[in-house]
Amino acid sequence: MLKKSIENFVVNNKKVLVRVDFNVPVRDGVILNSARIVASLKTIQYLIDNGAKVILMSHFGRPKGKPDKNYSLEFVAKYLEATLGKKILFSDDDLVTGDKTRSLVDNMVSGDVLLLQNTRFRPEEEKNEDNFSQELAALGDIYINDAFGTAHRAHCSTVGVGKYLPSGLGFLLKKEVEILDHVMENPKRPFVAILGGSKVSDKIGTINNLINKVDTLIIGGAMMFTFYKALGLKVGKSLVEDDKVDLAKSILALGEKKGVQIALPVDVTVAEKFINNTKWKIVDKEEIEDDWIGLDIGPKSVKRFSDIISKAKTVIWNGPMGAFEMSNFAKGTFGVAEAMANSDAVTVIGGGDSAAAVDMAGLANKMTHISTGGGAAIEFFEGKTLPGLAIIDNRSRVPFICGNWKMNTTIAEGEELIHFLKDELTDDQVRLAICPPFTHLYPYKSLLKGSNICLGAQNVNREDFGPYTGEIGSPMLKELGVEYCIVGHSERRQYYNENDDSVNKKIINLLSKNIQPIYCCGESLEIRELGKAKEFVKGQIERAFKEISKKDIVRIKIAYEPIWAIGTGKTATTEQIEDMCHFIRQTINELGYEGEEMSILYGGSVNSGNARSIINCGNVDGALVGGASLNKTEFLNIINDCK
Q: How far apart are CA 115 and CA 105, in angstroms?
A: 10
Using the predicted structure, report yes or no on whether residue 570 has a pLDDT greater than 80: no
- Of 83, 84, 17, give the one whose Cα is nearest residue 52: 17
pLDDT of residue 491: 87
pLDDT per position as a tens digit, 305-336 = 999 999 999 999 999 999 999 999 999 999 99
The model's confidence at residue 567, banded by pLDDT at 50, 70 and 90, is low
Question: Is residue 359 one of the residues assigned to a domain?
Answer: no
The model's confidence at residue 471, banded by pLDDT at 50, 70 and 90, is very high
* Residues 450 and 599 both lie in one domain: yes
Per DSSP bridges, beta strands 431-435 and 113-115 are unpaired
pLDDT per position as a tens digit, 625-643 = 999 999 999 999 999 888 7
pLDDT of residue 568: 63
Overall average pLDDT of the 227-240 stretch: 96
pLDDT of residue 71: 97
**CA of 445: how far to CAs of 91, 414, 442, 515, 557, in Å?**
55, 12, 5, 15, 22
| End residue of a domain, out of 124, 157, 177 | 177
Residue type, 223: M
pLDDT per position as a tens digit, 25-45 = 998 888 988 989 999 999 999
Of 379, 523, 561, 578, which is the active-site residue? 561
- Of 536, 481, 540, give the one whose Cα is nearest residue 513: 481
Q: How many CB atoms lie within 10 A of CB 290?
A: 8
CATH number at residue 244: 3.40.50.1260
Q: How far apart are CA 144 and CA 52, in angstroms?
A: 12
Exposed/middle/buried for 92, CB within 10 Å: 0-12, 13-18, 19+? middle
Range name among 15-24, 207-216, 471-480, 591-600 with the lowest pLDDT average: 591-600
486 or 199: which carries more pLDDT confidence? Answer: 486
Using the predicted structure, report yes or no on whether residue 125 has a pLDDT greater than 80: yes
User: Based on the structure, what is the number of domains in the chain?
Assistant: 3
Is 561 annotated as catalytic?
yes
The model's confidence at residue 617, banded by pLDDT at 50, 70 and 90, is confident
pLDDT of residue 2: 57
Please list, in sequence order, all residues whose beta carbon lies within 8 angstroms of the beta carbon of residue 353, skipping any fewer than 6 positions away. 196, 197, 319, 320, 324, 374
Residue type, 407: M
Question: Is residue 27 one of the residues assigned to a domain?
Answer: yes
Of 489, 491, 523, 578, which is the active-site residue? 489
Sign of CA dihedral 402, 406, 409, 412: positive
Question: Is residue 367 one of the residues assigned to a domain?
Answer: no
* Residues 166 and 259 both lie in one domain: no
7 or 121: which carries more pLDDT confidence? Answer: 121
Q: How far apart are CA 305 and CA 221, in angstroms?
A: 13
Q: How far apart are CA 357 and CA 349, in angstroms?
A: 10
10 or 230: which carries more pLDDT confidence? Answer: 230
DSSP character string of 82-114: HHHTS--EE---TTSSSHHHHHHHHT--TT-EE
- Backbone phi, psi, residue 458, to 5°: -90, -10
* Residues 541 and 475 both lie in one domain: yes
* Residues 134 and 199 both lie in one domain: no
**CA of 143: how far to CAs of 3, 126, 129, 305, in Å?**
13, 18, 17, 43
Overall average pLDDT of the 139-143 stretch: 97
* Residues 133 and 209 both lie in one domain: no
Per DSSP bridges, beta strands 267-271 and 293-297 are antiparallel
Using the predicted structure, report yes or no on whether residue 226 has a pLDDT greater than 60: yes
Which long-range CB contacts under 8 A does 474-478 form with residues at least 24 apart? 474/509, 474/510, 474/512, 474/513, 474/515, 475/513, 477/441, 477/513, 477/515, 478/513, 478/514, 478/515
pLDDT per position as a tens digit, 503-557 = 999 999 999 999 999 999 999 989 999 999 999 999 999 999 999 998 899 999 9
pLDDT of residue 396: 62
pLDDT of residue 29: 82
Most confident stretch, 204-208, 219-223, 376-380: 219-223
Question: Is residue 436 one of the residues assigned to a domain?
Answer: yes
**Is the bond preceding residue 443 a cis peptide, omega within 30 degrees?**
no
The model's confidence at residue 463, banded by pLDDT at 50, 70 and 90, is very high
* Residues 203 and 238 both lie in one domain: yes
pLDDT of residue 640: 86
Question: Is residue 183 one of the residues assigned to a domain?
Answer: no
Q: How far apart are CA 336 and CA 330, in angstroms?
A: 10
Measure the CA dihedral 601/606/607/613, to 10°: -60
CATH number at residue 624: 3.20.20.70
pLDDT per position as a tens digit, 377-388 = 989 999 899 999
Rounded to the nearest 10 degrees, the angle between the axes of helix 411-424 and helix 441-448 is 20
Overall average pLDDT of the 421-444 stretch: 90
The model's confidence at residue 619, banded by pLDDT at 50, 70 and 90, is confident
| End residue of a domain, out of 125, 144, 177 | 177
Is 489 annotated as catalytic?
yes
- Backbone phi, psi, residue 393, to 5°: -60, 140
* Mean model confidence pLDDT for the chain: 93
The helix (run of H) or strand (run of E) holding residue 216 is strand 216-219
* Residues 205 and 134 both lie in one domain: no
Question: Is residue 366 one of the residues assigned to a domain?
Answer: no
Question: Is residue 391 one of the residues assigned to a domain?
Answer: no
Domain span holding position 309: 189-344
Q: In what order do the strands lie in the sheet with 142-145?
A: 89-90, 113-115, 53-57, 15-19, 142-145, 167-169
The helix (run of H) or strand (run of E) holding residue 169 is strand 167-169
pLDDT of residue 229: 96
**CA of 300: how far to CAs of 46, 190, 331, 339, 418, in Å?**
48, 22, 12, 13, 75
* Residues 307 and 454 both lie in one domain: no
DSSP character string of 270-327: EESSSSSSS-EEEEEGGG--TT-EEEEE-HHHHHHHHHHHHH-SEEEEES-SS-TTSG
Q: How far apart are CA 516 and CA 133, in angstroms?
A: 43
- Of 228, 352, 207, 220, give the one whose Cα is nearest residue 298: 220
* Residues 221 and 160 both lie in one domain: no
pLDDT of residue 395: 61
Using the predicted structure, report yes or no on whether residue 472 has a pLDDT greater than 90: yes
* Residues 264 and 339 both lie in one domain: yes
* Residues 306 and 172 both lie in one domain: no
Q: How far apart are CA 439 and CA 332, in angstroms?
A: 72
- Backbone phi, psi, residue 329, to 5°: -125, 30
pTM exceeds 0.85, yes or no: no
- Backbone phi, psi, residue 436, to 5°: -85, 175
Name the CA radius of gyration of the chain, rounded.
29
Using the predicted structure, report yes or no on whether residue 569 has a pLDDT greater than 80: no
pLDDT of residue 641: 82
- Of 399, 472, 408, 480, give the one whose Cα is nearest residue 447: 480
DSSP character string of 10-52: --TT-EEEEE------EETTEES--HHHHHHHHHHHHHHHTT-
* Residues 601 and 467 both lie in one domain: yes
Question: Is residue 466 one of the residues assigned to a domain?
Answer: yes
